[in-house]
Structure 1
Amino acid sequence: MKKFVMVLGIVFSSFFATNVYAHCQIPCGIYDDGARFTLLYEYIATMDKSISKIKELSKKTDAYSKNQLVRWVINKDKHAEKFKKILWQYFFTQRIKPVSPENKDKYHKYLREVELIHQLSFYAMKVKQNVDTKYTQKLIELLKEFEELYTGKKDKDHHH
């Protein structure tokens, strides 16, 4: 009986469990690249603020500050993961299509987009490992380059 209840609990939990994805992976045709870029910039800003709060709270010794410190670390790491998820599940998997090397211009762009996604993911990982805003600044720099390459628009006034 105990096993049955446990199995039933697992089945019930998995039935109602949901995963959050950057976008569905069916060909619905509803995409909003701009919204994804806005989210990516917001995630960087959140990681950056988290780093500042971690540094500030690390100097304090009271229980409340320690509790908040842990929460800011979790927040920073969670947003780094969300950032990578959009890069890989939305852009890499769904939006950036493989290109034949015979089409040199498009292939060069494709390779640079893939390279930038890898670099962005690497620096998101560095944000998780460190508390240095040089990594969030690198994310901004690389994301601007990726956005300009991906959209084909050079935006002088990033409002993100």
Structure 2
Amino acid sequence: MNKLLRPLLIAASLFWLISPAAYSHCQIPCGIYDDHAKVKEMLQDVATARKAISQIQNLTGKSDPQSNNQLVRWVMNKEQHAQNIIATISDYFLTQRVKAKQKDYSERLIRHHSVIVSAMKVKQNADIKYVDELEKAVKALADYYPEHKH
């Protein structure tokens, strides 16, 4: 193998391996943030969890293999989207955007924690009321992260 090509292949392989970890946004002081987009992303996860619970309810009681397969897939989907929200709050907002020096720090912590707890309840249950609570909790963060007009 060409001596110049080998390091490039190694570098490309390493980048490919670490790129999924960098998706949620880096934790270095790069200054590139779009908090409003993150809130919208969480609301999309909420909508997906809502759809999943609806499908779970529709498939419950059916015993054919295809229905069972789809039921499992919808449960896994609900779990993943609720987990996405938990990760966004903990890995993005709580580590980078909620600061102890903010005047309303305690209130912000309470609201962000409420999102995590609500997402956990969505993971544990198949009742739309928990999705409603999660959506309300995520929307309660929107005032902190308005859309930037350029």
Q: TM-score, normalised by structure 2?
A: 0.81
2:60 aligned residue: 58
1:19 aligned partner, one-letter code: A
2:40 aligned residue: 38
2:17 aligned partner, one-letter code: F
User: Does the aligned pair in 2 maintain the 1:44–1:139 contact within 8 Å?
Assistant: yes
Paired positions, count:
133
Deviation of the 1:61 alpha carbon: 1.0
Matched-pair identity in %: 41
- Structure 1 residue 135 and structure 2 residue 130: aligned? yes
2:117 aligned residue: 122
1:145 aligned residue: 140
1:16 aligned residue: 17
What runs of 5+ residues in structure 1 fail to find an aligned partner?
1-11, 100-105, 154-160
User: Any idea what SS the aligned residue of 1:127 has?
Assistant: helix
- Structure 1 residue 76 and structure 2 residue 78: aligned? yes
2:4 aligned residue: none
1:123 aligned partner, one-letter code: S
What runs of 5+ residues in structure 2 fail to find an aligned partner?
1-12
How large is the RMSD of aligned CA atoms in angstroms?
2.1
User: Does the aligned pair in 1 maintain the 2:118–2:137 contact within 8 Å?
Assistant: no
